[in-house]
Amino acid sequence: MRIVLVGPPGAGKGTQAVRLAEKLGIPHISTGDLFRANISRQTELGKLAKSYMDAGNLVPDEVTIAMAKDRMEQPDAEKGFLLDGFPRNVSQAEALDQLLRDEEMTLDAVLDLEVPEDEVVKRIAGRRICRNDSSHVFHVTYSPAKQEGVCDVCGGELYQRDDDSEDTVRKRLEVYHTQTEPIIDYYKAQELVVTISSLGPVDEITQRALEALKREKAGK
């Protein structure tokens, strides 16, 4: 299957993308991974992207699209792929459509992870990270530390990252509503959107998504 995964920040896209790709036997292609891979390998696209990033500018759509095209042409993507973080706006979605047409391919589904805005704020603003090891992550509501402000693992100080503050989260949501959410309507016009709730245990959400994708595929 060829799938685009969309949803607001805090919807659990990263977690579900990895799980779904594994269950479906297709590669998970994320924008962040594409940038990191191209920059670390010092490809021409990686050097170009880094020049924009070093200057504090956004990487142009055409560079992101070229990276995605290169990745989708790899042998492991022959049977499909799951795109996470791309397309990020309607112009990228249009470019992806053209790219797929050129390769005589089509998307099978656009999986929309739906979560209430207040829940997004609660999920992200409640995160606390250990200063000693950023892989030690807690949540004031869902997985609190035994002692407030102290890491259970190493005893380090727990803190809230600047980009996890409520004000920043709400600004990120505004950007999502303005730039990314319109692609849902774009794909609804193509009858590709499958919307599921991203509330509940991780395993339940994965199963919900798999069943929705199965129904979508069966209906075509």
> Residues 52-94: pLDDT tens digits?
999 888 889 899 999 999 999 999 999 999 999 899 999 999 9
CA-to-CA distance for 122 and 172, rounded, in angstroms?
A: 14
User: Quick one: average pLDDT of 21-41?
Assistant: 93
Q: What is the dihedral of CA 120, 121, 125, 129, to 10 degrees?
A: 10
Say how many Å lie between the first and final Cα of the chain, rounded.
12
Report how far Cα 216 is from the mean position of its chain's Cα atoms. 21
Instruction: State the pLDDT confidence band at 211, using cuts at 50, 70 and 90.
Output: very high
Where do we find the tokens 């990314």? 180
Confidence of residue 130 (pLDDT cuts 50, 70, 90): very high
Q: What is the pLDDT of residue 128?
A: 96
The position carrying tokens 């989260």 is 169
pLDDT of the residue at 193: 97
Tell me, what's the pLDDT at 210?
Answer: 96
pLDDT for position 176: 93
Mean pLDDT of all residues belonging to the chain: 93
Q: Specify the pLDDT at position 29.
A: 94
Catalytic residue, chosen from 36, 47, 161, 214, is 161
The predicted structure's pLDDT at residue 219: 75
Q: Would you say residue 220 has pLDDT above 70?
A: no
| Alpha-carbon gap, residue 6 to 32, rounded angstroms | 15
Please classify residue 61 by burial: count the beta carbons closer than 10 Å to its beta carbon, then call 0-12 exposed, 13-18 middle and 19+ buried: middle
pLDDT above 90 coverage of the chain, percent = 85
The one catalytic residue in 50, 88, 170, 208 is 88
Active-site residue among 2, 13, 19, 123?
Answer: 13
2 is catalytic: no
Answer yes or no: 36 catalytic: no
Model pLDDT for residues 170-197, shown as the tens digit of each residue: 999 999 999 999 999 999 999 999 999 9
At residue 113, does pLDDT exceed 80?
yes
Its pTM stands at 0.88
Say which of 2, 71, 122, 127 is annotated catalytic: 127
- Give the pLDDT score at 200: 93
Q: Is 161 a catalytic residue?
A: yes
Mean pLDDT of 36-42: 94
Confidence of residue 206 (pLDDT cuts 50, 70, 90): very high
13 is known as an active-site residue: yes
Catalytic-residue membership of 208: no
Q: What is the predicted pLDDT for the residue at 32?
A: 87
